Amino acid sequence: MVPELRASALVDAPVAVVAGALLDTALIAGFGVKVPGPLLCLGDVLTGPLGVKLVVTRADLSGVSAAGDFLELHTDLVVTGAGTMVVDRVGWTTVGGVVGRFADVTVGRGMALRVLQKRSALLAQRCAELREARVVVGAAIVRDGRLLAQQRAYPESHAGQWELPGGQVEAGEKPEDALVRECEEELGVTVVVGGQVGPDVPLKKDVVLRIYAAALGGGEPEALEHNAVRWLTADELSGVDWLPADRVLVPALQALLT
């Protein structure tokens, strides 16, 4: 399978913002693609025109990819001094006969052209929104090669699911300071905040989740506002029932641990 179409565009936004915008399935739902939820996750199955199915094989800071039996879509992100370069690649294999040629023209080339022509503008617009979005912070607390997660007690719709510690950034508060405060309130510990992990994950049109690496500065984590806390290895991350926004960060969290 060889890329047949390629396009690139420069987006005036940090790579974490662009990578997060690419997770927003609203960017592709308008092209007749059926998606399982509001955010792209590794392993999701996308259904296109004429029942074409694609499986998401990559969704991280480097971009997104989806592949099927005869069609592949790739978006690569390259950091530059002027912003983030977005490089789209579309490739497909044409099966023989009339059916193959029909699929090539109506599905392969048609889908590719629609995506490459229209998505750049939608992506730039979504990135502009996310750059101004309110921030919810989360802590990827690592100790001895394990990641700390906590189990939600409420609301009922999410009770029992797992998430990273954190919360909203208050007016005038730095994200790192908010994370320190939230960990003290939720876990009864102090943390030392490091760099960002993974993309800015869209929660709403004007809200993003931003995760920072963190280390314990003092105390032992307790479930003060949650059902339980748990230390997870890299191999255990994919088997946890995460909240949707935290689930899309699993590849980045696995990379952090390994």
Q: What is the chain written as a DSSP string?
A: -EEEEEEEEEESS-HHHHHHHHTBTHHHHTTT-B-SSSB--TT-EEE-GGG-EEEEEEEETTEEEEE-SSEEEEEEEEEETTEEEEEEEEEE-PPSHHHHHHHIIIIIIHHHHHHHHHHHHHHHHHHHHHHTSEEEEEEEEEETTEEEEEE---STTTTT-EE-SEEEPPTT--HHHHHHHHHHHHHS-EEEEEEEEEEEEEEETTEEEEEEEEEEEES----SSSSEEEEE-GGGGGGS-B-HHHHTTHHHHHHHH-
pLDDT of residue 98: 44
CATH fourth-level superfamily of 134-257: Nucleoside Triphosphate Pyrophosphohydrolase (3.90.79.10)
Task: Report residue 240 CA to chain centroid gap.
Answer: 17
Whether 2-131 and 134-257 share one fold: the answer is no
Residue with tokens 């790192």: 176
Radius of gyration of the chain (CA): 20
Contact call for residues 33 and 48 (beta carbons, < 8 A): yes
C-alpha dist (Å) from residue 215 to 123, 180, 189, 238, 240? 34, 11, 10, 22, 22
pLDDT of residue 119: 84
Residue 10 burial (10 A CB sphere; 0-12, 13-18, 19+): middle
Sorted by where each begins, the domain ranges of the chain are 2-131, 134-257
Contact call for residues 178 and 209 (beta carbons, < 8 A): no
pLDDT of residue 113: 66
One digit per residue, the tens of pLDDT, for the chain of length 258 reads 555 788 899 999 999 999 999 999 998 887 788 999 999 999 999 998 778 899 999 999 999 999 998 788 899 999 999 999 999 988 877 665 544 555 555 555 665 666 677 888 899 999 999 999 999 999 999 999 999 999 998 888 889 999 999 999 999 999 999 999 999 999 999 999 999 999 999 999 999 999 999 999 989 999 999 999 999 999 999 999 999 999 999 999 999 999
CATH class for domain 2-131?
alpha beta
pLDDT of residue 147: 98
pLDDT of residue 61: 95
pLDDT of residue 182: 97
